Amino acid sequence: MKDEIHPKYYPACKVYHNGQVVMETGATVPELHVEVWSGSHPFFTGKQTFVDTTGRVERFQKKFAGNYFAGKDKAKGSKPTKSNAADALGTDKAQG
């Protein structure tokens, strides 16, 4: 194994979350600063929180707030029935 090609290993790397040390682990850097870790992640804590740094959640909530779906017309996206299709073609049901 070559001596000078491997990075220095720190067996007691401190992991910081919101300015507090949450755990120690081995790494190639002396300290890590993280935004999310298992103690704050909703999967492990059972609490739902939004991790939003660009404002996308607020834009989504603003767009779909109120009665956004109430103004949609149901007939607009419906498929034509057989009788409507026959009328559109100009055929008569009696001609058979």
Residue 27 CB burial class (10 angstroms; 0-12, 13-18, ≥19)? middle
Note the residue count of the chain.
96
Task: Say which CATH number the domain at 58 has.
Answer: 4.10.80.400
* Per-residue pLDDT tens digits for 2-33: 778 889 999 999 999 888 888 999 999 999 99
pLDDT score at 14? 94
Kindly state whether residue 84 falls inside one of the protein's structural domains: no
Domain holding 36, by residue range, is: 1-71
Question: pLDDT band at 56, cuts 50/70/90?
Answer: confident
Kindly state whether residue 25 falls inside one of the protein's structural domains: yes
Kindly state whether residue 52 falls inside one of the protein's structural domains: yes
- What's the structural domain count of the chain? 1
pTM (whole model) above 0.75: no
List the structure tokens of 55.
């404002």
18: nearest Cα among 31, 33, 32: 33
pLDDT score at 32? 92
